[in-house]
Amino acid sequence: MNTPHITVTDLTMAYGDFVIQQDLTFTIDHGDIFIIMGGSGCGKSTLLKHLIGLQRPAKGAVFYDRQDFWHASDEERVRIMRRIGVLYQSGALFSSLTLAENIALPLGEFTDMGSREIADIASYKLALVGLAGFEDYYPSEISGGMQKRAGLARAMALDPEILFFDEPSAGLDPVSARLLDDLIISLRDTLGTTIVVVTHELASIFAIGSNSVFLDPETKTMLATGAPRKLLAESSDPRIIQFLTRGESNVDKPA
């Protein structure tokens, strides 16, 4: 059986008195590709910020395994954050550094490795994402899809247990987006990484999602959690069906 990797309990997200989402309770299991989905403005990226330590909840708890993240000491919270990697929507590569130098940054800051070992690991991480031989390229010299993969290689630099993706397919053509989806599945299958993805792209949701939470901007809470295909097949909520079919009547529910 799968075991919980991240557990969110009775979470409320707010800016002052303005509530973004409330009463969020769901579990992300070890080895999940977990989709955070919902309509525009529902708080998907805000939820990601709460999960990775960038924003404190107004109420509720986030547990990594059995450890309460927001009630841990500063030292314990840093240790938890060392277990995660984040791929931001833009890739967030430093334009003045080569791909290898971008990946070397966290290795140089958080480990005692020598320059030769760091260079070897940078090459290995680039190879994992299909960029072997691109160590000396600058971000401006490669395509948008390759930049996303290079950003992923940097997110993987410290061998994280959990990878977070914020709209990974944004700005990519359909072929590049599909290649990135295939890479996400491969990383989960080969490395056993738990992966959390913020996305509104239907193709990606159904191609990679093994579990999910659906956030609703009107009621400001979650409407469902579970595998996206199962939600579409079994849900009677018109808001979920509308989102997962984009309102196309010719989209059949999966068997």
> What's residue 222's pLDDT?
97
Query: Would you call 8 helix, strand, or coil by DSSP?
Result: strand
Pairing of strands 59-64, 4-15: antiparallel
Distance, in Å, from the CA atom of 191 to the CA atom of 48, rounded to the nearest integer, reads 22
Distance, in Å, from the CA atom of 253 to the CA atom of 229, rounded to the nearest integer, reads 8
Residue 169 tokens, joined: 């397919």
Query: Would you call 144 helix, strand, or coil by DSSP?
Result: helix
Residue 92 tokens, joined: 């967030």
Q: What is the mean pLDDT of each run of 10 residues along the chain (255 residues)?
A: 90 95 97 94 94 95 95 92 85 89 92 93 92 94 89 90 90 85 90 93 94 96 97 94 77 49
Query: What is the phi-psi region of residue 184: left when phi exceeds 0, alpha when psi lies from -120 to 50, beta otherwise?
Result: alpha
Q: Please report where in the chains the tokens 């290995």 appear, as a residue.
A: 124
Residues shown for the chain:
255
In sequence order, which residues have a C-beta less than 8 Å from that of residue 123 and are 6 or more positions away? 100, 132, 135
Whether 130 contacts 148, CB under 8 Å: no
Residue 143 tokens, joined: 């395509």
Query: What is the phi-psi region of residue 227: left when phi exceeds 0, alpha when psi lies from -120 to 50, beta otherwise?
Result: beta
Distance, in Å, from the CA atom of 29 to the CA atom of 2, rounded to the nearest integer, reads 6
> What's residue 172's pLDDT?
79
In sequence order, which residues have a C-beta less than 8 Å from that of residue 66 and are 6 or more positions away? none
Q: Which domains does the chain have, with CATH numbers?
A: 1-83+161-174+183-250 (3.40.50.300), 91-160 (no CATH)
